[in-house]
Homo-oligomer: A and B are copies of this chain.
């Protein structure tokens, strides 16, 4: 039987339960799992030699590997993948007091940025890894009201209130001079016309439509100029991270080479952003393990993430970032739960 053949075949029951146990053991201890101590610890009715044989097979099939010839086995990324896949559905979530408290904070928070901070704090402090969230792009924000506030004679503050009460403001400089009363009229006009639409629609459709209309007694074009100036910037979604310090607590993460890649991640947030955007399309909790993270700047790390929705639309992603040797059993349900929580939060907000 050559290895190619072996690597195709499915694992039988005994093999998969042993593989699971090995991954589990390695996740808890961080040390290569050897046959003798493994048998002992899990009081199996098998001899070390048998385990060795199985381990050998699993290694041939690329589920396990040896750091060096005479060491125990550690899971490969494929091994981790097997582990999380077979266990994904059976995870159980236990709502702790801490979660209860933090959930409460999130639900009660009114300022958007603080909501995101609270979410990442919850993710990181419960998981003991790093919590991340990619905020919704404001494209889907629904306008509720527009106010123009004079600052200097040719400077205006454009204040936009979204349906869920978030305030976005921009300074706009124009060439003309406008009176306070004019601004008030403009505000009313813009509020009437834009209310109920998403920023995306407004930029792509509404503005054009309004340009073609005729409105008497109002220099609507100047009003539209102002609005276009303020809303023109196609704003990016933002990335919030919390709990980097947790990662520094993990010995294997500060080990020389790892520390470097960790620093890369902190500095170039784009790496994390990409990872998160990748999982945006999927429903449910997704796990990116080690080499599945394409960026070569990251190694030995995993990301457990899920998208969250506003109504039926996926608007963002959140997750936990940590070492590949991560306590998935705890993290996966946490991410799952938090995803639902945040979806709920955003969905209720729009209604």
Contact = CB atoms under 8 A, between A and B. Distances in A.
A259 B266 contact: no
Contacts of A169: 110-111, 167
Contacts of A267: 245
Nearest to A109: B171
Interface in A96-130: 110-111, 113
A269 to B, nearest CB: 11
A248 B248 contact: yes
B165 A157 contact: yes
Interface of A: 110-111, 113, 144-145, 147, 149-151, 155, 157, 159, 161, 165, 167, 169-171, 244-245, 248-249, 254, 259, 262-263, 266-267
Given A245-B263, A249-B263, 11 more contacts: A110-B157, A110-B169, A145-B149, A145-B150, A147-B147, A147-B149, A149-B161, A159-B167, A244-B244, A244-B266, A254-B259
Contact of A248 (B113, B161, B171, B263): B263
A110 B151 CA distance: 12
A332 to B, nearest CB: 25
A157 B147 CA distance: 12
